[in-house]
């Protein structure tokens, strides 16, 4: 049976996709470079672990970034990055699946947003970074069509803002006849 809100289906799919890639990382790949030029594989996984670690405080508890303070700063991966990922991914899925969770308001650093929009942002980030991680570790780079379509819809209206944030490279012009995955990756400054 499908969840009452389609973003929950996409969240589950994106968490599982990224999780499969995390579980595929070999011991000798944690320091390998990624398409995110400043990040190693460990840095990339650490970024996603940190993002998911914020979900219980922001969504369930209604916390603000200031009230959380520095509790979620630093290395959240510890000695077992795979276990760290599994723990935060499971907690994030549980929190967003709670009755009424998607109807809440989340207090982010740039302002208040509906929880379902916050979840959609996380899904998009998971999707793009699943490709980054796949490329870095030599895994299958093809992303699921439904996640790609979802992410393109989320990113397209904000493509210019992403570059201005300093967190993304400038968008690339997709080649003529590009598929949905290539279009998404070009929108977020990747060179597929």
Each residue's pLDDT tens digit, 138-160? 999 999 999 999 999 998 887 77
> What pLDDT sits at residue 116?
96
pLDDT the model gives residue 2: 44
Q: What is the DSSP letter of 119?
A: H
Q: Which of 106, 44, 38 is nearest to 77 (CA)?
A: 44
Identify which has the larger pLDDT, 9 or 36: 9
Higher pLDDT, 153 or 69: 153
Per-residue pLDDT for 79 more than 80?
yes
Residues 186 and 175: their CA atoms lie apart, in Å, by 9
The pTM of this model reads: 0.92
pLDDT in tens, 81-131: 999 999 999 999 999 999 999 999 999 988 999 999 999 999 999 999 999
pLDDT of 181 strictly over 60: yes
Rg value, the chain, Cα: 16
Pair type for strands 105-108 and 111-114 = antiparallel
Contacts of 184 (CB under 8 A, 6+ apart): 127, 128, 143, 148, 151, 152, 155
pLDDT band at 165 (very low <50, low <70, confident <90, very high): low
Judge whether 134 and 185 are in contact, CB under 8 Å.
no
Residue 81 region by backbone torsions, left for phi larger than 0, else alpha for psi between -120 and 50, else beta = alpha
The whole-chain average pLDDT of the chain stands at 91
């Amino acid at each position: 049976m499908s969840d009452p809100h389609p973003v929950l289906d996409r969240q589950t799919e994106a968490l599982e996709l990224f999780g499969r890639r995390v579980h595929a990382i070999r011991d000798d790949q944690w320091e390998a470079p990624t398409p995110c030029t400043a990040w190693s594989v460990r840095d990339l996984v650490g970024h996603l672990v940190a993002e998911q670690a914020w979900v219980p405080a922001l969504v369930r508890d209604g916390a603000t970034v200031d009230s959380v303070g520095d509790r979620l700063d630093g290395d959240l991966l510890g000695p077992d990055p795979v276990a760290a990922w599994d723990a935060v991914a499971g907690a994030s899925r549980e929190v967003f699946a709670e009755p009424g969770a998607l109807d809440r308001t989340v207090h982010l650093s740039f302002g208040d947003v509906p929880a379902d929009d916050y979840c959609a942002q996380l899904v998009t980030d998971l999707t793009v970074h699943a490709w980054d991680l796949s490329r870095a570790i030599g895994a299958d780079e093809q992303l699921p069509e439904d996640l790609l379509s979802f992410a393109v819809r989320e990113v397209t209206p904000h493509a210019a803002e992403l570059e201005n944030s300093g967190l993304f490279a400038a968008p690339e012009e997709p080649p003529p006849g590009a598929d949905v995955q290539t279009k998404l990756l070009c929108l977020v400054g990747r060179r597929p």
